[in-house]
């Protein structure tokens, strides 16, 4: 993916990683549980998602909540070749383009877009609105503090395990989490939670629709960014994102981890559904095309 310029703006980015964690790690990737935002919040909020709570906290109980070093990130990511060399710089640049595109799209509709924060961490982190979380839940969005949290090393490890390869797969995962931010801004997240409480039997069904909509929003961003000239995306990169969406389908995750598939337990949707809704967003370039609840 080519960007319209090489400048990186790290404002809004919080770097809570330890020293020595900035080495380039290659192509990066998307996590198998990188989109388990629903499971995370259900556990932290007492909702009982079925996710093992031990995944949320490191064994020694430590979490990262130290001072941010976004100033260092700003300097390093604006050196020559940094976007191509470092995964964190690439993700910050994608974050910049996500915010620019959604700001413009909301303005066209007479609305105001408030950008989410982006936090890099290692192993575990203390959030401002969702308690503590381990990197083992994958990248996630916390509506309580309107922030996206990513452990880049764990993201790459999950890519190796599930084969969601390619740099553009990273853009997809970040755009998906930003999609959850849009759902929070538009009130979709609150309405979905209320419906889950009033119709417990539909809890998983509603969660699937919620996650598929974020996939669709990621596709919409992909189209809008490409059309506006913020980025230049090749067909091969679009296929990377489609493959990444499919790779984290509930059926594929279950088949790989347990050897069986149980559609009744799905919270994110099948591989085919995830790929289809990302493609729907990409083809339409319109948030209104993403009514997965209908």
At 122-181, the pLDDT tens digits run 988 999 889 988 888 888 999 999 999 999 887 777 667 776 777 888 899 899 999 999
Contact (Cβ atoms closer than 8 angstroms) between residue 36 and residue 102: no
Q: Is the pLDDT of residue 14 over 90?
A: yes
**Percent of residues, the chain, with pLDDT higher than 70:** 81
Residue 28: band (very low, low, confident or very high) from pLDDT cuts 50, 70, 90: very low
Is the pLDDT assigned to residue 58 strictly greater than 50?
no
Q: If DSSP states are collapsed to H, E and C, what string results for the chain? A: CEECCCCCCCCCEEECCCCCCCCCCCCCCCCCCCCCHHHHHHHHCCCCCCCCHHHHCCCCCCCECCCCCHHHHHHHHCCCCHHHHCHHHHHHHHHHHHHHHHHHHHHHCCCCCCCCEEEECCCEEECCCCCEEEHHHCCEEECCCCEEEECHHHHHHHHHHHCCCCHHHHHHHHHHHHHHHHHHHCCHHHHHHHHHHHCHHHHHHHHHHHHHHHHHHHHHHHHHHHHHCCEECCHHHHHHHHHHHHHCCHHHHHHHHHCCCCHHHCCCCCHHHHHHHHHHHHHHCCHHHCCCCC
pLDDT confidence of residue 60: 41
pLDDT mean across residues, the chain? 81
Range in 43-57, 165-179, 200-214 the model is least confident about: 43-57
Mean pLDDT, residues 13-37: 47
Q: Which residues, in sequence order, are CB contacts of 101 under 8 Å at separation 6+?
A: 221, 224, 225, 228, 230
- Give the strands of the sheet with 147-150, arranged side by side: 13-15, 117-120, 147-150, 140-142
pLDDT of residue 247: 81
pLDDT, tens only, 255-265? 877 888 898 88
- Report the predicted TM-score, pTM, of the whole model to 2 decimal places: 0.82
């Amino acid at each position: 993916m080519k960007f319209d310029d090489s400048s990186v703006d790290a404002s809004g980015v919080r770097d809570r990683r330890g020293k020595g964690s900035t080495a380039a790690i290659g192509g990066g990737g998307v996590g198998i549980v990188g989109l388990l935002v629903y499971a995370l919040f259900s556990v932290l909020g007492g909702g009982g998602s079925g996710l093992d709570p031990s995944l949320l906290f490191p064994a020694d109980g430590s979490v990262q909540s130290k001072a941010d070093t976004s100033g260092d990130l700003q300097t390093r990511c604006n050196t020559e070749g940094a976007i191509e060399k470092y995964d964190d710089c690439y993700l910050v640049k994608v974050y910049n383009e996500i915010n620019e595109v959604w700001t413009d799209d909301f303005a066209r509709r007479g609305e105001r877009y408030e950008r989410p924060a982006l936090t890099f961490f290692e192993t575990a982190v203390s959030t401002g609105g969702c308690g503590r979380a381990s990197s083992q839940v994958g990248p996630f969005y916390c509506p309580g503090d309107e922030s996206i949290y990513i452990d880049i090393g764990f993201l790459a490890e999950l890519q190796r395990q599930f084969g969601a390869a390619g740099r553009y797969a990273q853009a997809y995962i970040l755009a998906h989490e930003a999609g959850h931010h849009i759902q929070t801004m538009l009130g979709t997240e609150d309405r979905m939670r209320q419906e889950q409480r009033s119709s417990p039997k539909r809890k998983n069904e509603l969660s699937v629709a919620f996650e598929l909509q974020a996939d669709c929003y990621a596709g919409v961003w992909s189209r809008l960014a490409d059309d506006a000239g913020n980025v230049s995306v090749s067909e091969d990169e679009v296929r990377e994102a489609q493959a990444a969406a499919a790779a984290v389908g509930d059926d594929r995750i279950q088949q790989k981890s347990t050897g069986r598939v149980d559609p009744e337990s799905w919270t994110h949707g099948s591989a085919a559904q995830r790929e289809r809704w990302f493609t729907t967003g990409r083809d339409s370039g319109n948030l209104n095309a993403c009514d997965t609840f209908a």
